[in-house]
Amino acid sequence: MSRLKSSTLALPLASLADHLQRHPLADEPLAARIAQILADAGVFDSHDHAIYLDFFRRMHQGIHDPELWPRLSTGSLLLASPIFLAWHEHVSTHCGPQLQASIDHLALQTLAVQLTYATPRLHAVRHSHTLDPGTGLPNTSALGQLLTQARERTETGKVTALLHVDFGSAMRSCTDHTLLCAAERLRNMQRHYDSLLLIDRHTLGMLLPNLSGSGHAMLAAHRAMALLAEGLDLGGLNVRLHPQIGIALAPDHGSEPAALLSAAAQAAHEFTQNGIGLYDPGRDWLGLLIKQLEIPLREALLNNRFQIVFQPQLTADGTIMHGMEALLRWHDDKLGQVPPHQLLRVAEHLGLMSSVSQWIINAALRQFRQLIEAGIPGTLSINLTPSNLRDPELPSFIANACEIWGISGKRLVFEVTESAIIDDIDSALRVLEQIKSLGCRLALDDFGTGFSSLTYLKRLPIDEVKIDLSFIQEMRRSQRDADIVQSVIELAHRLQLLVIAEGVEDEATTLQLREMGCNVIQGYYYSKPLAPERITEYYQTLPSPR
């Protein structure tokens, strides 16, 4: 970094610095504008924001420092043009026409220099589906090629290890800068043929060829843990990261990318001790379940073999049909009745959840249309899964389904759990707000069982709260559970939220909930889930008023 004297920038920089020394310029409006540009593009990062602001502040002192540009994330590099235009407008307004030529020259030339740093990286990212656009790191699409290279470097009798370094337990939303800093720290242990990749928005992967075995891989995982625990400089703060690290070995635990990723992720989430876990096929109940269900599940989806049932939701006095919840069922000729949670877990793992959810939405709305025509009142509730909330196409699919079946969004409620939201709350919020814009209602399901229920009451655009059945079914035996239920009802009402109690199975609990002011009851006491053709019959049995 130095004051330029012999370049075409030297004279206009000196003129600008001299003017601003005599007429100081407040940079708060520029800082706010840069922040807005980054935020509107969905790539706001305080580190990148500081780099841009620092660059312009130095220019105001007569200094051009292009060495700042390599430190920007790729996503922020894409926004150089609108940010330089914002600076141009800000400085031009302050300095007036006498410096306009100098300001124009500075804007064009400094942007041109910035682009010489940015263009090679942007070109590589834009023309490769194997690079993450935000960080420039290889993504999971590159894993097949990286595995092939790793196998070529692995001697007979040795293994390749995939480390799944998941920061989700430490921080639920990692910025690109955080991931890049963590990757840079892990490079301290990289051999020249090791690879780093981005698995998802809070997980890095390390592919380590030619290791002697599981013990060698465990040593590498401990080394990674120690490096990250030393702390990263994030915006002036020293942040120590303590990730969950899962280890999968090729070929022992799989040779294909999907199998190896799955094994490493499961090791991180289910087999860890002191933050590090090695995949164990003998404890892999999900792997066994996938082997059992994958082919039948794909065939059932292809051949329309699922069923939808509806569980009625009644006002607390049992006289008015508030609505019903759509529930998925699957009876296989060989497997029998497959539990819904197993079906959904396997579908999530196989990447089929979007297709399953679309089937549920279409089937439920088609049958709900028939019930509406039969005079059934109330709303239809449909559950959303974690992958649904990462699907930017879901809101448009819902809008199209509503149009096809002629159902107003006001008749639909989409239920989400805290665990579905917590991995990437910003992405979830974007999807939920778009669904809300269709007129649909949103419900927070299993309330009270997650990490920070009150936080989600504040942040999410919800209309309803469903109290988890674990509290409902214990409230007759536990005064503490009864107090929790009462507090949730009172808090929700103060926030103008409707309260639904699920899992209500007896009259005494129903009467207690009614006294507490609970709005709606769902459970076997009023009705088990019913086939669509039985809903009209059930509705006609309700006492007046209806």
- Final residue before a domain boundary, out of 245, 261, 281: 281
* 147 and 269 within one domain: yes
Is position 3 within any domain? no
* 323 and 258 within one domain: no
Is position 114 within any domain? yes
Provide the 3-class DSSP secondary structure of residue 468: coil
| pLDDT at residue number 441 | 96
* 454 and 338 within one domain: yes
Is position 356 within any domain? yes
Quick check: 266 and 279 in contact, CB under 8 A?
Answer: yes
* 297 and 260 within one domain: no
* 68 and 149 within one domain: no
Is position 231 within any domain? yes
* 94 and 71 within one domain: yes
Question: Would the pLDDT of 510 be above 90?
Answer: yes
pLDDT in tens, 54-73: 888 988 998 887 776 766 76
- Final residue before a domain boundary, out of 281, 306, 331: 281
* 227 and 181 within one domain: yes
pLDDT in tens, 402-447: 999 999 999 999 999 877 776 667 778 889 999 999 999 999 987 7
Sheet strands side by side (includes 244-250): 195-200, 203-211, 159-166, 244-250, 276-278
Quick check: 436 and 465 in contact, CB under 8 A?
Answer: no
Contacts 24+ apart (CB under 8 A), 190-197: 193/149, 193/150, 193/153, 195/138, 195/146, 195/149, 195/150, 196/137, 196/138, 197/137, 197/138, 197/139, 197/140, 197/142, 197/143, 197/146
How many structural domains is the chain composed of? 3
- 73 lies in which domain range? 10-126
DSSP string, 373-426: HTT--SEEEEE--TTGGG-TTHHHHHHHHHHHHT--GGGEEEEEEHHHHHTTHH
Kindly indicate the confidence band of residue 271, based on its pLDDT and cuts at 50, 70 and 90: confident
Kindly indicate the confidence band of residue 473, based on its pLDDT and cuts at 50, 70 and 90: confident
Is position 491 within any domain? yes
Is position 131 within any domain? no
Percent of the chain exceeding pLDDT 70 equals 87
* 418 and 315 within one domain: yes
Is position 480 within any domain? yes
In CATH, what number is assigned to the domain containing residue 471?
Answer: 3.20.20.450
User: What residue has token string 């430190």?
Assistant: 71
Is position 133 within any domain? no
Percent of the chain exceeding pLDDT 90 equals 40
* 178 and 163 within one domain: yes
Q: How far apart are CA 180 and CA 229, in angstroms?
A: 16
pLDDT in tens, 193-249: 888 999 987 899 999 999 999 999 999 999 999 998 887 776 666 777 888 999 999
Beta bridge partners of 206: 163, 196
| pLDDT at residue number 4 | 38
Question: Would the pLDDT of 315 be above 60?
Answer: yes
| pLDDT at residue number 46 | 65
* 398 and 486 within one domain: yes
| pLDDT at residue number 41 | 65
* 472 and 421 within one domain: yes
- Final residue before a domain boundary, out of 76, 95, 126: 126
Provide the token pair at 508.
Answer: 């005494």
* 293 and 276 within one domain: no
Provide the token pair at 154.
Answer: 């692995």
pLDDT in tens, 150-165: 998 899 999 999 999 9
In CATH, what number is assigned to the domain containing residue 267?
Answer: 3.30.70.270
Give the ranges where 448-531 is alpha helix by DSSP (H). 453-459, 469-472, 479-494, 507-516
> Mean of the pLDDT values across residues 186-192?
87
pLDDT in tens, 458-469: 778 899 999 888
Beta bridge partners of 250: 160
Question: Would the pLDDT of 480 be above 70?
Answer: yes
